[in-house]
Amino acid sequence: MNLTRWDPFAGFDTLFNRVTPNLPRLFMEEKGGIGVEFTPLADIVETGKEYLVRAELPGLKKEDVKVTMTDGFLTIEGERKREQEEKGEKVHRVECYYGRFARNFALPDNVKAEAVRCECKDGVLTVHIPKSEYQRPREILVQ
């Protein structure tokens, strides 16, 4: 029998991230100010043939987004740049988040990594992740 020390706060970070996964996070900028890091919202859907990850990336060009798959993780990263203010403009409020972002998604074992494809339409990035064929279990008779 193994004894395990109980830690009442062990799952707190996981719980907090599940409850508030898309709240902007504050960080210190190089110039000493406080910046806000945003996380794009994403939906994950499964069909009979594939997994779909749909991420909301309004205002981003496809050149500003990078999608990679490494060691069973799908990573969507990029940067939303703030438009330069025109002369004579006076900004009263900025509610949009700007800056670098990255989202990681753990993938199941039954995916075809070499057949992943992406498309971007109307500010939504859709990543198509085809499923590989499962090898059906077979019964082996004991002799």
Q: Where are the domains of the chain?
A: 40-81+91-130
Looking at residue 38, its pLDDT comes to: 73
pLDDT for the residue 34? 65
So what's the architecture of 40-81+91-130 in CATH? Sandwich (2.60)
**What pTM does this model have?**
0.68
In Å, what is the CA distance from 117 to each residue of 12, 22, 74, 103, 130? 35, 25, 12, 17, 9
Tokens of 27: 């960080």
Taking alpha carbons only, the member of 136, 134, 80, 85 closest to residue 112 is 134
pLDDT tens by residue, the chain, 143 residues: 667 776 676 666 566 555 555 555 666 666 766 666 678 889 999 998 999 999 999 888 888 899 999 988 999 999 888 777 677 888 788 777 777 889 999 998 889 988 999 999 999 999 999 998 765 567 788 87
